[in-house]
Structure 1
Amino acid sequence: MKTQEMALLIQDAVLLPGGRLEIRIASPCELRMIAEVLKGHYQLAFAAQKAGSDLPCYITATRCNIIDFNQLADNTLSIVIEGSQRVKILSAAQQRDGSWIARALPCQNWIQEPIAGEFEIISAALEQFYQVNPDLLDLYSQVHLEDATWVSQRWLEVLPMYNRDKLVLVEQPNCHKTMDFVLQLLKSHVDV
């Protein structure tokens, strides 16, 4: 697989393939970077912020597409991004204006799998979570509650955990450990 030079958007969040996130873009360097992406000069990678390392982010990131944007009342830009492909950040360089450009290598996405048996509770719980958080649900034109990979990745995006702990699960070869983790988490809250 070939490496790619990508614009790097760094936030304190995790976005995975199939996931959507609305982000406020306020700084001039981020606005310029988004303009370069929209002009087709770069692909966009989204990565979770990491302090105290050579890179400004974790090495596991997601290539994403800008699927919507709006100008906010304060004249900042709101963009909705959708994750499409996992990537590994090999290196990153900060530009003069403060934006980041990364060299990234595409990685294998988790394959789709049907949810079955006791794991169906995870899907039902995510559906309830979206009912309580309609702003998140509104980002999606379709939800895939029958797909274990889609459901487990959405849980990783919304669970209140440290990003480093989420990324340990993201770096697994499939969604099985995440499904087990979320199931145990839900069971522990039901048993209380």
Structure 2
Amino acid sequence: MHTNPGANRPPVDKFQARRIELAEAALETLGELGYARTSLREIAQKSEFTHGVLHYYFADKHDLINCSIRHYKSKCITRYDGLLATARTQEELLQGFLDKLAETLRAEPRMHCLWYDLRAQALFENAFRADVAEIDRRLEAMTWRVFSRYAELGGQQPTLGSAALYALLDGLFQQCLFRHVSNDPQAIPDLLRELRRLLPMLG
């Protein structure tokens, strides 16, 4: 008699909710150790979940990491939506954007390091490429919403396209992150000053 290996699984929505719960629990370990040094066993040892539970909900380490970073970045991508809806002047939008940028750098540096780690790994690991590409597209769209709204509030159009704007902000952010995790106290203030100088030129 043949049995269905998925017969004992919870309904899809509960199964996915449990995956997200486990992925959130894994984020701290992933952020601490990075991709190369993290295994399902390592995550189990640093959390309340057993190795068997992780294997039940995730096919492998790639599956868990993809789920974790997708969940984290889905929250990052909507971080500025409230500001975009309420800002009425360029200065109000700019200051709010800079405040939130500084806040996430100070509060979540490990998560940002993990993102850049996985994006670099996607150059070599095909398992990450589709998710990394999709997250990058969504981050680019988020950047475009901020910059285009800034330009609109000044009665102008952005002077760069979406991809170039994202590449510029992302590059500056990554440089700042590296300096910040290297204990450079001027990393975040320097980034904020540079963006305050650059944004008026871009829109």
Q: What is the TM-score when the length of structure 1 is the normalising length?
A: 0.27
Q: Which has the higher contact order (CA 8 A, sep 6+)?
A: 1
Q: Which has the higher strand share?
A: 1
Structure having the higher helix fraction is 2
Normalization by structure 2: what TM-score?
0.26
Larger Rg: 2
